[in-house]
Structure 1
Amino acid sequence: MTATVIERLRASTRTWHDALETSGFATAMVAGTLPLDRYVGQLAAYRVVLEALEGELSRAASPSVDRVWSADLVKLPLIERDLRHFGESDVHPKPWAAGETKAFAQEIWHTAASTPQALLGFLYVLEGSTLGGLVLRQYVTTAYRLHNADGVAYYGSGDRDRWARFTARMNQALSEPEAQGRVISAAHRAYHHIAAMTDALSVGLAPGP
Structure 2
Amino acid sequence: MNDLLTRLREETRPQHEAAEALFYTEDLRSGTLSVAQYLHLMQTHLVFHRALENALADVAGYPLEERLKTAWLLADLDAAGEAPSEEIPEELNTWSDTALLGAAYVAEGSMLGGQVIRKWLSAHPELGELAGNSRFYEGYGSETGSLWKQFRTYLSDRGTGVEDEIVDGAQKAFGVYMEVFRRSTAVA
Please say if residues 43 and 83 of structure 1, whose CA atoms lie closer than 8 Å, have aligned partners that are also in contact.
Answer: yes
Moved over 6 A (4+): none
Q: Do structure 1's residue 191 and structure 2's residue 170 form an aligned pair?
A: no
In the TM superposition, what whole-angstrom CA distance separates every residue of 1:100-135 from its partner, at most 9, and x where no partner exists?
x76xx2221221xxx222111111111111210110
CA distance in 1, matches of 2:2, 2:122: 38
State how many pairs are aligned: 183
In structure 2, the residue matched to 1:16 is 15
Alpha-carbon spacing, 1:55–1:9, altered in 2? closer, same or farther (3 Å)? same
Identical-residue share of aligned pairs (%):
23
* Aligned-CA RMSD value: 2.7
Distance 2:27 2:184 in 1: 11
Evaluate the alpha carbon distance shift between residue 85 and residue 131 of structure 1 in structure 2; reply closer, same or farther with a 3 A threshold.
same
CA distance in 1, matches of 2:151, 2:20: 23
1:94-105 map, 5 Å: 105=89
Q: For residues 12 and 125 of structure 1, what CA distance do their matches in structure 2 show?
A: 12
Question: Match for residue 90 of structure 2?
Answer: 106
Structure 1 residue 163: deviation in Å?
A: 0.7
Q: Where do 1:4-43 residues align within 5 Å?
A: 4-23=3-22, 25-43=24-42
- State the alpha-carbon separation in 1 of the partners of residues 91 and 75 from structure 2: 25
Q: After superposition, what is the alpha-carbon deviation per residue over 1:59-103, rounded to whole angstroms, capped at 9, x for unaligned? A: 23x4xxx1x43422111111111111111xxx569x7xx9xx76x
Residue segments in structure 2 that go unaligned for 5+ positions in a row = none
Provide Cα deviations, 1:38-75, integer angstroms capped at 9, x if missing partner: 21122122212222211221223x4xxx1x43422111
- Structure 1: segments with no counterpart, 5+ residues: none
Aligned match for 2:79, one of 67, 85, 91: 85
**TM-score of the superposed pair, with normalisation by structure 2:** 0.83
